Amino acid sequence: MTPDTTSSAIALLTHLVAFDTTSHKSNRDLVSFVEAYLADHGVASHLVPTEDGEKASLFATIGPEDVPGIGLSGHTDVVPTVPSDWTSDPYLVREEAGRLYGRGTTDMKGYLACVLALVPEFKRRALKVPIHILFSYDEETGCTGVRPMIAELGNRLAKPRLVFVGEPTNMTVVDAHKGPMRWRVDVAGRAAHSSMAPIGVNAIAIAAELIAELNRIETDLKTATRDDRFLPPYATLQVTEISGGTASNIVPAACHFGFEVRTLAGLDVEAIERRLNAFAETRFLADMQRVAPEAGISIRRVNSVPPFAAGPLSEAVALALKLAQQNETYAVSYATEAGLFQMADVPAVVCGPGDIAQAHTADEWIAISEIERCLAFLGRLADWAEG
C-alpha cells in the first residue's frame, strides 16, 4: 500500500479512538461516523441495532450483490480505562517511535481503520467476489453484539462465503482458539446473629466449599483434553469474582461468585456443570433447607463463546495463508467471534494487526508497521477478489 493509504488509516484510527466505546456505553456515534464515511464512497450500510437503539452492528457490501463474498469482521467496543494509569489521553492517538498509543489501537480499532482505509481501493476495483464489512458491538462482554447480526446472515444480510476476524495476531494466521464459558453461582442462606450461628445458614461458608470443588475440577482439567498448540495446553478454570456478607456480627445470608472455563474443542463442558450441581445438592442442600427451607444454590451459565477450530481443509485458512504470504498456522488462548461464524456455517479464520499482549493495557499501542502489514494483506485480498 502507498504512504497515502497508511496516512489515511492512521487518520481513521485517530477518529475511531476518539469515540469512547467502552462496552457499557453506546457505540452509535462511531457507527454513524462509519456509516457516513461509507456513504461518501457510495457504499450503503445496514444496521442491526439493539432494542433500545443504544448500540448497533453495521454490515456493508462492496461489489456484486449476488455472489457470496469475503467478510471482514471486527468489534467497535473497548475495555474500560483508568486515565491516571496512562501517560497521555487514552482517547487521543499519540504517535511516538513508530507506535500509535490509545485505547483500542490494538484491540481492535487498528483493524477497523485498515478496513475503512481500503474502501476506496475496493470500490476502484472490478470485484468479482464482494467484500463485506461486519462491525459489531460488545465483543468484550462475551461476543454479544455479533450474534444478532449473524442471525440475519442469509436473510436480510448477505451470507459471506467466509470471514476474516481481525483480532490482533501480529498478522499471523490463527485457525484455533479456546472458548470462554462463564457461570454465576448464587448461594441463599439465612441471616442470624453471629453468636447464634447454628440457627442461620452461612452462605459464604458454602460458597467456599463450592469453590474448593471448582479447584479440584481445575486440577482434573489439566489431565483431561489437551492440545499442545495452546499455552497452557489444557482448559483452564478460575473464579473471577465474589461478593457476600453484611457485617462481621451477622451470619451471611447471601453470597455469589462467578467462574470461567476457557475450554478446548471436544471438552465436555456440560459435565463440569453437572458435577458442581451434584456436589451442591448432595453435600449441602438438604442440610441448608432443614435449617432454612428458603435456602438454596443456583448455578447458572451466563455467557458462552464457543471454541474455534477451523480444520485442515478450511478455505478461509488457505486464503488467509496465501494473503499473509505464510505457511504456518497458530492457536491462541483468547477468544473471538470466529467460532460463532463457524456455528452459522460460515468458515472463519483469525488474522489481524497488533500484539494481543498490548490489548487491555494502560498505554495500549499498535506499531505502524502492523498497520502497514494489514493494509498489504487487504490489498492482496482486493487483487484476489478482482480475479
Domains of the chain, by residue range, sit at 3-177+307-386, 179-304
CATH label, 179-304, candidates 3.90.1150.10, 3.30.70.360, 3.30.56.10, 2.60.40.10: 3.30.70.360
SS3 state at 355: coil
* Structure confidence at residue 311 (pLDDT): 85
Maximum alpha-carbon separation in the chain: 80
Say how far apart CA 125 and CA 131 lie, in whole Å. Answer: 11
| Per-residue pLDDT at 1 exceeds 80 | no
Say how far apart CA 48 and CA 261 lie, in whole Å. Answer: 30
Element housing 331 (H / E)? strand 329-332
- Please, which residues bridge with residue 134 across strands? 59, 73
Average pLDDT over residues 216-223: 95
- pTM over cut 0.85: yes
* Structure confidence at residue 190 (pLDDT): 97
Q: Which of 296, 286, 301, 278 is nearest to 207 (CA)?
A: 296
Say how far apart CA 274 and CA 332 lie, in whole Å. Answer: 28
Say how far apart CA 113 and CA 119 lie, in whole Å. Answer: 10
| Per-residue pLDDT at 208 exceeds 80 | yes
Q: Model confidence over 318-358: pLDDT tens digits? A: 999 999 999 999 999 999 999 999 999 999 999 999 999 99
- Please, which residues bridge with residue 182 across strands? 260, 303
Fold of the domain spanning 3-177+307-386: Aminopeptidase (3.40.630)
Q: How far apart are the first and last CA of the chain?
A: 19
Q: Are 119 and 57 in contact (CB under 8 A)?
A: no
SS3 state at 294: coil
* Structure confidence at residue 386 (pLDDT): 95
The percentage of residues in the chain with a pLDDT greater than 90, rounded to a whole number, is: 96
Nine-digit cell at 134? 461486519
Say how far apart CA 267 and CA 30 lie, in whole Å. Answer: 38
| Per-residue pLDDT at 148 exceeds 90 | yes
Alpha carbon dihedral 3, 58, 173, 81, in 10-degree steps, equals 80
Nine-digit cell at 189? 442462606
Q: What is the mean pLDDT of the chain?
A: 96
Q: Sheet holding 94-96: strands in order across?
A: 94-96, 99-101, 365-367
| Per-residue pLDDT at 32 exceeds 70 | yes
pLDDT band, very low/low/confident/very high, at 2 (cuts 50, 70, 90): confident
* Structure confidence at residue 312 (pLDDT): 85
Q: Model confidence over 155-201: pLDDT tens digits? A: 999 999 999 999 999 999 999 999 999 999 999 999 999 999 999 99
Amino acid symbol at 207: A
